[in-house]
A and B are shown apart, each in its own frame.
Chain A
Amino acid sequence: MTESRLKRVLTGSHFAVTAECGPPKGADPEVIRKKGNLLKGYVDSVNVTDNQTGVVRLSSLAACAILKEQGLDPVLQMVTRDRNRIALQSDVLGASALGIRNILCLSGDHQSLGNQKGAKGVFDLDSMQLLQTVRQMRDKGIVLGGDQLNANPSLFVGAVENPFGDPQSYRVARLAKKVRAGAEFIQTQCIYNLSKFSEFMTQVRDKGLDTKVFILGGITPLKSVRMAEYMRDSVAGMDIPDEIISRMKGAPPKEQRQEGIKIAVETIQALKEMKGVHGVHIMAIEWEDVVPELVEKGGLLPRPEV
């Protein structure tokens, strides 16, 4: 059985690079293949969102299977918003059977934020409980309730953390709880406020968490001032300091993308130097073709042979 490339990179003490791939609002597999081709060779793993922001898209599991066929190492995002524990555990088994080797457990954006506002939010489990469930399926070969599986799934298990969320005083304790629940790697919310992130990492190191879990810092290049302001004002849990907004404003409209790339590259470089940060996760929202440039300018090439 092949192991997760992401796991091999991280356990081999390499600085990991993953990128996000948002599935299309349609059934065309070519969209996924095109995104996969763009990222191939530039990233270690491709993380596929699960109906992000509560908007109906091609399923994460199907998109991961397509990426796997292309020889990429997909990370299956699984939210607890849409499926109960029966469906979640079933999909965990299905993902492993399809050769998917990474899973990211999260609760998911609330359904009222998407295009199915009347949907029933399931939340039978929360992200912490899903982490625990996947770990016991993998490690003990049992499902919730204790029934034995006849073959364990093989998955590298991750979770997310927002160092900028509230209540601030609880964020590191929450990370510790996710680690205890079984998270082996963590993707953070997009980092624009480096000093706040650095404070968070100090607390993480003080608690020794950086030696228990691999932390990938979240990077989202800004396309424009408008996007920066929209994210600051309308995206839940986002912290974009005034300094970043004024840098974007300082650039003429045609050069704002370049400024956004510059900010992202500087952030990557800072994260490379930050103790306890084991990689970056690039979420270039509907802008996947910028990833190779960011990876190259960030000095992250070539990707290691593992």
Chain B
Amino acid sequence: MITAERKPFAEIKAAVAPYGKILVVGCGTCVAECAAGGEKETALLASQLRLDARNEARTVDVKEVTLDRQCIYEFIDQLFPLVDQYDAILSLGCGAGVQAMAEVLPKIHIVPALNTTSISETMEQGVWREDCRGCGDCKLDRFADICPITRCAKGLFNGPCGGSKEGHCEVDPDVPCAWHLIITRMEETGRLESMSEIEPPADWSRTQGKGPRKIVREDQKTP
């Protein structure tokens, strides 16, 4: 899923300071799963804004609403009857949610309340780890199903650097060395020999350099 973290309240407060009427919009999918922008977090942020205004004797009109998915236009359409009544939208969606709303609602300022971080897995309750950078050219099978682009701090393709110690990365001793994990898993599955092949330079044109990547599927379009 896409993971995100809520921005500090002070930053959100400063960003919405010019507005008296704020529509706080949550998203019920990925960011709800990682407890950053779901219904509960949206209600909490709306209350915080109201309470803060009251403490400072300001009047502010805050309404909250959580869409099933902020990145799909059909769900955003639900906001049409509301937007005219507000000065700004405070979005608890990921970067795709914020931009999809901007696409659908061209006349209102949308302020992000989250910092979108990554495509992650849930390791345990409250722990999410980044797994994928969306490079557009998945080679996980060649790396024992551990992505070196994402999980090696240097994104090395051909083995560990010289800086790992006891299986930990030189950058952060709390982070396991991805190449230590790759080699261990290769050893355990009898594939270590394949590591002797030199992985050629990546084709980054699949990731960047030609603007945003877009998938167009004619077979999926509605006639």
| Complex interface: chain B residues within 8 A of A236 (CB) | 162-165, 170
> Which of B45-53, B56-64, B92-100, B177-185 lies at the interface with chain A?
B177-185
Q: Which of B154, B183, B187, B202 contacts A107 (CB 8 A)?
A: B154
Q: Whole-angstrom distance from the CB of B41 to the nearest CB of chain A?
A: 28
Chain A residues touching B, majority SS: mixed
Q: Which of B160, B170, B171, B198 contacts A167 (CB 8 A)?
A: B160
Assess whether B204 is interfacial by the CB under 8 Å rule. yes
Assess the A167–B184 pair: CB atoms within 8 A.
Answer: yes
Known: A81-B154, A110-B153, A123-B154. A128 touches B159 (CB 8 A): yes
Assess the B163–A165 pair: CB atoms within 8 A.
Answer: yes
Assess whether B150 is interfacial by the CB under 8 Å rule. no
Q: Which of A160, A169, A176, A237 contacts B164 (CB 8 A)?
A: A237
| Complex interface: chain B residues within 8 A of A162 (CB) | 162-163
Chain A 237-281 per-residue mask, 1 if CB under 8 angstroms from chain B, else 0: 100000000000000000000000000000000000000000000
| Complex interface: chain B residues within 8 A of A25 (CB) | none
Number of interface residues of A (CB under 8 A): 35
Known: A112-B171, A113-B171, A237-B170. A126 touches B156 (CB 8 A): yes
Assess whether B222 is interfacial by the CB under 8 Å rule. no
CB proximity to B under 8 Å, residues A124-148: 124-129, 132-133, 144
Q: Whole-angstrom distance from the CB of B162 to the nearest CB of chain A?
A: 3
Residue of A nearest to B162 (CB): A162
- A176 to B200: give the CA distance in the assembly, Å: 17
CB proximity to A under 8 Å, residues B125-171: 153-167, 170-171
Q: Indicate the size class of the contact surface on chain B.
A: 20 to 34
Known: A110-B154, A113-B171, A126-B154. A170 touches B198 (CB 8 A): no
Residue of B nearest to A126 (CB): B156
Q: Which of A113, A129, A144, A180 contacts B157 (CB 8 A)?
A: A129
Assess whether B196 is interfacial by the CB under 8 Å rule. yes
- A169 to B155: give the CA distance in the assembly, Å: 21
- A181 to B156: give the CA distance in the assembly, Å: 15
Residue of A nearest to B204 (CB): A124
Assess whether B212 is interfacial by the CB under 8 Å rule. no
- A180 to B197: give the CA distance in the assembly, Å: 9
Q: Which of B166, B196, B198 contacts A129 (CB 8 A)?
A: B198
Assess whether B201 is interfacial by the CB under 8 Å rule. yes
- A160 to B187: give the CA distance in the assembly, Å: 24
Assess whether A177 is interfacial by the CB under 8 Å rule. yes
| Complex interface: chain A residues within 8 A of B154 (CB) | 81, 107, 110, 121, 123, 126
Assess the B159–A110 pair: CB atoms within 8 A.
Answer: no
- A127 to B163: give the CA distance in the assembly, Å: 14
Assess whether A85 is interfacial by the CB under 8 Å rule. yes
Assess whether A28 is interfacial by the CB under 8 Å rule. no
Assess whether A161 is interfacial by the CB under 8 Å rule. yes
Q: Whole-angstrom distance from the CB of A2 to the nearest CB of chain B?
A: 31
- A110 to B175: give the CA distance in the assembly, Å: 14
- A32 to B171: give the CA distance in the assembly, Å: 30
Assess the B163–A110 pair: CB atoms within 8 A.
Answer: yes
Assess whether B195 is interfacial by the CB under 8 Å rule. yes
Chain A 104-130 per-residue mask, 1 if CB under 8 angstroms from chain B, else 0: 000101101100000001011111110
User: What 19 new A-B contacts, CB under 8 Å, besides A112-B153, A113-B170, A174-B159?
Assistant: A113-B171, A123-B156, A124-B202, A126-B154, A126-B157, A126-B158, A127-B161, A128-B157, A128-B159, A129-B201, A160-B162, A161-B162, A165-B161, A165-B164, A166-B167, A170-B183, A170-B195, A177-B159, A177-B196
